[in-house]
């Protein structure tokens, strides 16, 4: 297996991990700021 192919695969996995971590933190941040179903039900 060519070394450049291996490096590209590792970069792809690393990029996917960063994207997943970013989305997870973004979702968690929205949840903590009050975007939860319970708060929606409290609003008139």
User: Helices marked H in 1-44 — which ranges?
Assistant: 3-32, 37-42
Q: Whole-model pTM? A: 0.46
pLDDT tens, residue by residue, 5-39: 667 777 788 899 999 999 999 888 877 766 555 55
Instruction: Give the closest residue to 40 by CA, choosing from 30, 27, 26, 25.
Output: 30
What is the spatial distance between Cα 13 and Cα 33, in angstroms, rounded to a whole number?
30
């Amino acid at each position: 297996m060519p070394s450049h192919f291996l490096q590209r695969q590792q970069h792809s996995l690393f990029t996917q991990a960063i994207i997943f971590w970013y989305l997870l933190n973004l979702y968690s941040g929205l949840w903590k700021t009050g975007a939860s179903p319970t708060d929606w039900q409290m609003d008139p």
